Each structure stands twice: as C-alpha cells, then as structure tokens.
Structure 1
Amino acid sequence: MTSRDILHMRRAVGLAARGQGGTSPNPVVGCVVLDSSGDVAGEGFHEYAGGPHAEVAALREAGERARGGTAYVTLEPCDHTGRTGPCTGALLDAGVARVVVAVTDPNPVAAGGLDTLRRHGVEVDTGVLAEEAERVNAAWLTFIRRGRPYVTWKFAATLDGRSAAADGTSQWITSPEARADAHRLRAESDAVLAGVGTVLADDPRLTARAAAPRRARPVLRVVADSAARTPASARVLDGEAPSLVAVADDAAVPPHLAGAVRLPRAGGGIDLHALMAELRGRQIVSVLLEGGPTLAGSFLREGLVDRVVGFLAPALLGAGAAALGPAGVPTIGDIHRLEFEEVTPVGPDLRVVLRPLPPKES
C-alpha cells in the first residue's frame, strides 16, 4: 500500500458518502479511476438504487483513458447481473490493469469479483483504508453480516441528560440547527422508529423534513406499540408517509390498527429481535431510533444499538425525564461503554457521535 493508494482511496470513500440515504437496499460505493500515467481520469459513486454503480460512473467519465489504468473502489466490484450488469465486466471491458479495493463483499450473491478480475490478468490489491470504507458503509455491512437493520439511537438532551422538564415539556431543548440536523438523519434512514409512549406524549409526525436524497422509497415510520394504544388521530397515521405499527401478538387491536404487524411479546413489550427481522424482511437497511427512553433502553439491553447520535444543549434542568431508561445495567461492571467518533458544534449545541465498544472477554 503506497501513499498514492491511500490518497485515492480516501477520495473514493468521500465519494461513497455522497450516496448516503439514496442507495438502499444497496451499499454506498465510491470509485476513482486513474489513467496509465497515474492521473485521475474519472470519478463516480453509487447515487441511487437501480442507478449506475460507482465503477460504471467513473469509467464513463474516464473513457479510453481507463485502459491500462488503476481503479480504486471502496467495495469489491460486483460479479453478478441484477438491475445493472456486473462491474467486473465493465472494468475488464475498459482495460483496467489494476484494481484496488478497500472491503471485500460479504454478500454471497454479489461476491467473487476479485477472483474474476485475477483470472483475467488484472492486478488486485485489497484492504486499503478498510476501516474508513467500513465506517461509511456500516449500515449495509451490518445488514448483510448480522442479518438485521443498522440501528442509530438519536436523542436530544440537556447536559445533565434530561430530555424533558418535570412538567413533561420538551419543546425545544435543542436549537433549530440541531433539529435540522436531526431531520437530515431521518432523510438518510430507511425507517424512523418510536415507542408508543412518545407517540402519546408528543404526537410526532416522524417524517423527514429535510432535503431528501434520491431514494427509491420514502422513509418508513414505525411505532413499537405492544398494547395497540396508538390512537386513530395520531399524526404518524396521517398518510403523509408509509407507517408500520407493531403490536404484541396477544394485543386487542382496534379497527384503525387492523393493518398492524403482530409480533411475539418479550420483556413486557415487543420482541425487538422479531421487530428487526420484520424490518429486514422489508429490506429496511437502516433504522433511526428516536424514542422514547424506555424503548432506547430496551434496544441497548438487547445489543441492538450500532451508533449513538446525541444533541447536547448547553442547559441544565436538574429534574424531569431522563434521555435513557433502564438498559440492563444493574452494576457498574455491566455499563455500556462507548467510544467517541465525532464531536461537532451544531449551532449553540454539540452533536456527539459514538459507537458501542465490544464487550470485554472475561
């Protein structure tokens, strides 16, 4: 791996990020093509599901300059025909001499591209900036490797961890800038999930009121409602975007929730693993968990949170609802440890992005 490899793969990772929110259920991928002299000839990224893959977009821009050149790709080029043809064929037809890949494809349906390229005499190198490429494609990789959607828990709180005042009021703890950023997170997700407690307390719309990426389907609004308490008047049922209410299989369901999905009961609520399986079956790759504290605690307890995004206001309440409910931590040895990935000012607030640390082996 050379400094030039790192430079161009980092650019490919940045290109891949531009597809966030638009490619599901496909991965985000970026590609940079150099000519035989080592100059950049073309760039591309996978913009939307069903559209040209990153390699095809970059090769189109490069044209004949790709012959004898090098392609840097964040994910192993696909080797199958789906809505588009195999990217391995496009690379071979373009006469690319070397392909550098960050992450090999864990999807057995599309994998095998590197072997095909090698059989045709193409030089192949892998693992360049793999960690960065995995991070930008974390949602899809989790979906394929773990067989469930990638879950981001988003919360807004004061510095002392309160999400509402003692009288229950919570609008607004954070700034307009933070709320706009939260809507960006919604727009980049396949589904937004809230518990029925949040629906009853706040009557949220759960829609993405932000510039939406080019996506093949709207964001799905999901309510976890074990006792089928979501009222007919709830804005989450207003038809503005598709909705899914998940109830326990033993719940008495009113007529307006006749289309609800019944799932097994567990721990006093819905079996969250069954909910994740239901969403996976609907090709939901990423879920934004927005509340409330009880549901967030349950997701943490079950090991189903992959990323935490917190918006912290420079304010103190001292009393009121906590941002997080019981999360299966009876003693300090069971604490959920996280690592900071990003700390960014957003207006007067701070946005912190964290990922859970793997549990220590005993």
Structure 2
Amino acid sequence: MPIAPPCPPEWLAGLDALAERAIGLSEPNPRVACRLITRDGRWFEGHTQHAGGPHAEVMALRSAQAAGVSVQGTTAIVTLEPCSHHGRTPPCCDALINAGVGHVIVALQDPNPQVAGRGIARLRDAGIRVDVLDPTHPLALASRALNVGFFSRMERQRPWVRMKLAASLDGATALPNGVSQWITGEAARRDGHAWRHRATAVLTGIGTVRSDDPRLDVRLVPASRQPVRVIVDSRLETPPQARVLQPPGPVWIYTAADAARSAAARAALQAQGAQVIDCPGPPKAAGGSPKVDLAAMMRDLAQREVNELHVEAGHQLNGSLLREGLVDEVLLYLAPRLLGPGAGLAQIGPFEALAQGIALSFIDLTPVGDDVRIRAHVCPRP
C-alpha cells in the first residue's frame, strides 16, 4: 500500500505543472518545483531557472523574502531532493537550512551521484524533519517522468532517446520521389516543435540534411532556448551552406571520416560554427566506409550534459538506432491518408519470426488536429 503523504493533499496539487515551467529553460539541470507553506498558510513558489541561475528552492525563498514574510519553521515541498554540492550554484539544502525551514517534503531522491541522499542527510543533520514520498505517489511518478532524461543520464550515462516520426496511415513517411512535406497537418507540426523544445538536442542524419535541408530549430512554439542540433555524418558530407548550420544554437557533427583526408571539409564546417566530433566505429569489411559508433555517440552526448535527445531522421538512421537498442520512446504522428509505396518508418529486418520484431508499449494516443499522435516506449529486448 502506498504511504500517505505527510501533508494535506492540496499542498502537493499543481507542483508537477509548476515544475513543467522549467521545460526548455533549466537544461541540463532537472526540472524542479518548490512550494513553501508558512505557518499561517501562505504559499510561496518557484521553479528551476536557466543553468547557472537560481534553483526552485531559492526562487521560492526569494518570493517569500520579497513579500516580507518570515520562512522560519515553514514547510518546503520540493519535487526533487535539494542539491548538496557546489555546481553552478551553491547547495540548495544549505539555503533551506540557513532560512530556518522546519520541515522538508521530497518527492524523489536525486539520482546525481554528487547528491543521491546527501541533501536529505544534510537537512536531517541540521535538525530539519525530512519526509520522502513513496515512489508510487503521483507526484513522485510525475517528477520522474518530467525528468526522464536527467534520470537516464545519471543512471545509464546516456540520454533518453525519443524518435519522432510522421507518416500516413499505411506507414509512408515520403513518396517514392522523396516528397514528404507535409504529410501531417499544422497542429501536428506545432506539437512536434513543442517536443523539440523539450529536448536538450535534436538529432538527424546526413541523408535528411541533404534531401530536406531542415533547420531543426524551434519556431512554431515559444522557446526560451534552442536545442543543440546534432548530425550523424560518417563521411563528413554536410554542405557548409546547409540551413541546419545557421543560427540559432550550436551544431555538433559526429563523423568517422579520416581527419587528414577530411581537413578541408572540417575547416569549412568549423568556419560555419559547427563542432566536428570524431566518433568512428570498429573497422568494417575491406573497402567499406567507417560508420559513426552510435552507442559511443550516446555516451559522449551524456558527457556533454544532453538529457533528452529528440531524433528526426530518415529510415536508415532510424533503423540503425532501433537495431542497436538506442531508442527509448517513439513519438509517431499518423495522418488520415493512404499514400501507397514510399519510404517507411525505419529500415529494420527482414525478420523470420514475429518475435524478432521490436516490441513497443503504448503510453497514450492523442488526437492532434486532424492527425493522431501515438507515444510508446520501446520494450527491452529479452
């Protein structure tokens, strides 16, 4: 049986929505909300700001201070354990201790090895009562889901990889002549930009860069920051005039091309502001071109503090990521039309048995304009 929270339910209501305000703002830090409840029942709130800016606890404390209200003996509710280490900012647990907070309710323990219970311990050592919600509590579940990329980076040393796809009802992502704009409607495209905005980085392949010349920035929804744009380009063939290289936001290009032989291409791309990252895979058969080591790329992206990676690529790169077990979630928009033969969702198989297919677990199905959005988790392979 779940443990009842040590406070009235209304104290916890809406904290998940408050934490969501940090989407697209707090990267690479987790999205956290804090609510202070004073002894006379007044509330003061805050959420995580940009990296290097104040965390949720400090924002809530500042709100109370601006109102001239003492926080001595107050209850602080935070959706993730207060940090205990000096990073870009001082420890939040020290801010709560110095403010004289009397009770702290934590939705989830921080998975960061630099914290991982140390914040809770420091608060208790200071004489503050600390309660941690049961992991099955709705607020705990919501906080983990909101920070799925942060948890993935801390626990698995790789980002949470979400693959976005748009197709006709019969699974075509483009006509045989390559035309794909637009299969889905404006509402679906706007929703897709909201998911881009959520991600730390957006990834595509050289095939998509050359065929579609996408920008891959966030334009259709308000954006406080732009995600990093990442290109998988094994032979370093990205045209220097490609739109993806234009501002705003940085561009990282992962390649397996020989540094000496590709010196001119590297210089041209670096002149456009792109960072070229060598990430070659193991040698292929004689005469074959080396490929980017996708698993190593994911580890490198995590080291570069990428929490959520949003993939918008063609069927070849999609297939490679799926075959290597590097996709965690599928975001599929289906349009109410049939297109017949054309490019598919991902180049996988052929399989000889149904059990060999990649299994998915549906999360939700939501109408978006005239289209339907399907979210599904990729099931671990047995």
The TM-score, its normalising length taken from structure 2, stands at: 0.86
Q: Does 1:18 align with 2:21?
A: yes
CA distance in 2, matches of 1:328, 1:284: 33
Q: Secondary structure at the match of 2:35?
A: strand
CA distance in 2, matches of 1:270, 1:110: 34
| 1:65 to partner: Cα distance | 5.0
| 1:29 to partner: Cα distance | 0.4
* Residue deviations 1:52-73 (CA, integer Å, cap 9, x gap): 1111112222344533232111
CA distance in 1, matches of 2:81, 2:323: 34
CA distance in 1, matches of 2:344, 2:247: 31
- 5 Å-filtered alignment, 1:71-82, equals 71-82=76-87
Counterpart in 1 of 2:279?
263
Counterpart in 1 of 2:211?
201
Q: Secondary structure at the match of 1:200?
A: helix
Q: Secondary structure at the match of 1:194?
A: strand
Counterpart in 2 of 1:332?
354
- 5 Å-filtered alignment, 1:224-243, equals 224-243=232-251
- 5 Å-filtered alignment, 1:40-189, equals 40-63=42-65, 64=69, 66-111=71-116, 112-128=118-134, 129=137, 130-189=140-199
Q: Which amino acid aligns with 2:343?
A: A
Question: For the Cα contact (< 8 Å) 1:186–1:288, is it kept in 2?
Answer: yes
Question: For the Cα contact (< 8 Å) 2:361–2:379, is it kept in 1?
Answer: yes
* Residue deviations 1:82-139 (CA, integer Å, cap 9, x gap): 3322211221223222211111112122341100111122221113432221001111
Q: Does 1:296 align with 2:318?
A: yes
* Distance change >3 Å, CA 238–CA 43, structure 1 → 2: closer
Question: For the Cα contact (< 8 Å) 2:193–2:219, is it kept in 1?
Answer: yes
* Distance change >3 Å, CA 7–CA 292, structure 1 → 2: farther
Q: Which amino acid aligns with 2:164?
A: K
After superposition, the CA RMSD in angstroms is 2.4
CA distance in 1, matches of 2:281, 2:131: 48
Q: Which sits farther off after the overlay, 242-251 or 1-10?
A: 1-10
CA distance in 2, matches of 1:7, 1:352: 32
Q: Secondary structure at the match of 1:148?
A: coil
Q: Does 1:244 align with 2:249?
A: no
Q: Secondary structure at the match of 1:181?
A: helix
* Distance change >3 Å, CA 281–CA 232, structure 1 → 2: same
CA distance in 2, matches of 1:188, 1:101: 24
Identity of aligned pairs, percent? 41
Counterpart in 1 of 2:379?
357
| 1:41 to partner: Cα distance | 1.6
Q: Does 1:33 align with 2:36?
A: yes
| Structure 1 runs not aligned, ≥5 long | none
Q: Which amino acid aligns with 2:252?
A: L
* Distance change >3 Å, CA 41–CA 295, structure 1 → 2: same
* Residue deviations 1:130-150 (CA, integer Å, cap 9, x gap): 222100111111111111222
The TM-score, its normalising length taken from structure 1, stands at: 0.90
Q: Secondary structure at the match of 1:157?
A: strand
Q: Specify which structure has the higher proportion of strand.
A: 1
CA distance in 2, matches of 1:189, 1:221: 10
CA distance in 2, matches of 1:190, 1:101: 25
| 1:220 to partner: Cα distance | 1.9
| 1:21 to partner: Cα distance | 1.4
CA distance in 2, matches of 1:336, 1:243: 31
| 1:164 to partner: Cα distance | 0.8
* Distance change >3 Å, CA 204–CA 3, structure 1 → 2: same
Q: Secondary structure at the match of 1:265?
A: coil
CA distance in 1, matches of 2:35, 2:213: 46
CA distance in 2, matches of 1:338, 1:282: 29
- 5 Å-filtered alignment, 1:310-325, equals 310-325=332-347
Q: Which sits farther off after the overlay, 202-211 or 1-10?
A: 1-10
CA distance in 1, matches of 2:351, 2:18: 40
CA distance in 1, matches of 2:352, 2:102: 58
Question: For the Cα contact (< 8 Å) 2:33–2:47, is it kept in 1?
Answer: yes
CA distance in 1, matches of 2:299, 2:173: 29
| 1:254 to partner: Cα distance | 6.1
